[in-house]
Structures are given as C-alpha cells and as structure tokens.
Amino acid sequence: MSRRGANNARGRWGEDRAAEWYRARGYLIVARNWRHGRHGEIDLIARRDDVVVVCEVKARANDYFGHPALAVDQRKQSRLRRLAAAWLAEHRPGRVTVRFDVAAVSGARVDVIENAF
C-alpha cells in the first residue's frame, strides 16, 4: 500500500473511532466527510438535542511529530467555520448551538477536545 493509501486508511480508521466516541455519548452522526465543492470537507457532524458538533479528526500512528490536534491551525479553523456555515445554510437544522471539536486519534487513544476553537 502506498503512503497516501496508508494515510487515507488511517484517516478513515480515526474517523470511525471518533464516531464511536460520539455515539457512546448519545450523539447522532448526521454526516461524515461532507464536502462543499472545492472549498473542503468536514470530517464529522454530530448532533445531540440542540447541539451540532463540527469535528475535525486528526489521526496519527503515534505522537512522534507532536499531538495530532496541533495540526488544526488558524487556517484550518477558518475553513471549518466557513464550511459549517455552508452546512447550516443547506440543512437548516433550526435553532442550534454549533460547537467545534477536534478529535485526536493517536494509536488506539482517542482524545476529543470539545469547544477546541
């Protein structure tokens, strides 16, 4: 398997672990890998009651290059905010609170940073 293929598989595996984390806490996964044209993608969108969570998942084999959450920089945060606005406009979920989380999956460990930005 190529390095890119291995990274894609790790990303999918990380998204699966993060989705399990949310489901175990009573969230419904309403979208995975939601794309908005060429503007980008939201890894996970979860909902519980009136809270919609936009989650960026970062999966790494280990912490050798630092904690995976460190990869969610200001530029990525801005892109996720714009994507979330587009998702909300398209799906019109009613009056909700939007929360931005980062799920850092390193090895078998899942750290979800709620209200990360």
Q: Mention every residue, 6+ apart, whose C-beta is less than 8 A from residue 11.
A: 57, 59
Domains annotated on the chain, with CATH: 3-113 (3.40.1350.10)
> What single string gives the DSSP state of each residue in 56-106?
EEEEES-STTS-GGGG--HHHHHHHHHHHHHHHHHH---S-EEEEEEEEEE
DSSP single-letter state for residue 36: -
pLDDT one-digit tens code per residue, 15-55:
999 999 999 999 999 999 999 998 999 999 999 999 999 99
> C-alpha dihedral over 110, 112, 113, 114, to 10 degrees?
-170
What pTM does this model have? 0.89
Quick one: tokens of 18? 């993060």
Residue 26 falls in which region: left (phi positive, over 0), alpha (psi -120 to 50) or beta: left
Stretch (H or E) spanning 28: strand 28-35
Distance CA 76, CA 71 (A): 8
Distance CA 18, CA 13 (A): 9
Name the least confident of 75-79, 94-98, 103-107: 103-107
Does 106 score more than 90 pLDDT?
no
Q: Please give the pLDDT value at position 24.
A: 98
Name the least confident of 14-23, 34-43, 61-70, 98-107: 61-70
